[in-house]
Amino acid sequence: MSEPRVVLVLGAGVATGSAVARRFAREGYVACVARRQGEKLADFVAEIEAAGGEAHAFSCDATDPASVADLVAEVESRVGPIEVACYNAAVGVRGSITELDPADYERVWRINAFGAFLFGQQVSRRMLDRGRGTILFTGATSATRGLSGMAAFAGSKHALRALAQSMARELQPRNIHVAHVIVDGPIDTPLIRRRMPEVFEQRPPDGVLVPDDIAESYWMLHSQPRSAWSQEIDLRPWVEPW
């Protein structure tokens, strides 16, 4: 009996992370999804299974080295070797540089950058032993420019981008595909609809990023022939100014 093909998504919420897991599950991958409170993923696991796929939920604190190591070890022992790993955990905070709470800055960095390092380190060790794998990181507009009031988020996303570049240069010659996805624009989620209602009133339906459409690019990256790997791509709606 052949081993299952496993995709692990850390940071599987209601948008990009769950869409990536759903997309790979349609291709026969076992979707392993994780967030700080894994029990909140029960409905999503049921959705995958109702569609004929297989999924498993896990709890993980992305900022805790032991928790991330335990997650990867548990997936590999319980389900199978991780072929695709996606880091999608993220948090943001706005604030003037003169007033920003240092604790908030550190919290954003720990989730967006330090957690990505922990995750990338753990999955790459397993993949190197097998000589194959794909590691995908979800970036943002702030990975390329720091906007006013966004010092914490921009600093962490710049760090994530640099991590992905360094990992790619080290691991791609060893058959591990590492890619960074810059998601540049508002994503159609309940939270963004509440915070930015004017965007959805003023733009056409395809004027914001749709999670399932974002996930298509993650599948494309994994499917690329290694003679033409992308290390970074950017995604934005056709009406997005940039």
Give the domains, in start order, of the chain with CATH numbers.
6-235 (3.40.50.720)
Indicate if the pLDDT at residue 125 is higher than 90: yes
15-50: per-residue pLDDT in tens? Answer: 999 999 999 999 999 999 999 999 999 999 999 999
Asked whether residue 8 carries a pLDDT value surpassing 70, the answer given is yes
Above pLDDT 70, what percent of the chain?
A: 100
Distance separating alpha carbons of residues 116 and 160, to the nearest angstrom: 7
The whole-number pLDDT of residue 1 equals 63
Residue type, 72: V
DSSP for 113-124 reads IIHHHHHHHHHH
Compute the distance between CA of residue 87 and CA of residue 157 in angstroms, rounded to an integer. 12
Mean pLDDT of the chain: 95
Q: pLDDT tens digit string along 81-103?
A: 999 999 999 999 999 999 999 99
Give the pLDDT score at 158: 98
Q: Residue 14 has what pLDDT? A: 78
pLDDT digits (tens, 9 = 90+) for 149-198: 999 999 999 999 999 999 999 999 999 999 999 999 989 888 888 888 99
pLDDT of residue 49: 97
Question: How confident is the model at residue 190, as a pLDDT?
Answer: 83
**CA proximity to 93, closest of 104, 106, 82:** 104
Contact criterion met (CB below 8 Å) for 23 and 216: yes
Instruction: Give pLDDT, residue 3.
Output: 86
pTM score: 0.95
Q: At what angle do helices 16-26 and 211-223 cross, to 10 degrees?
A: 50
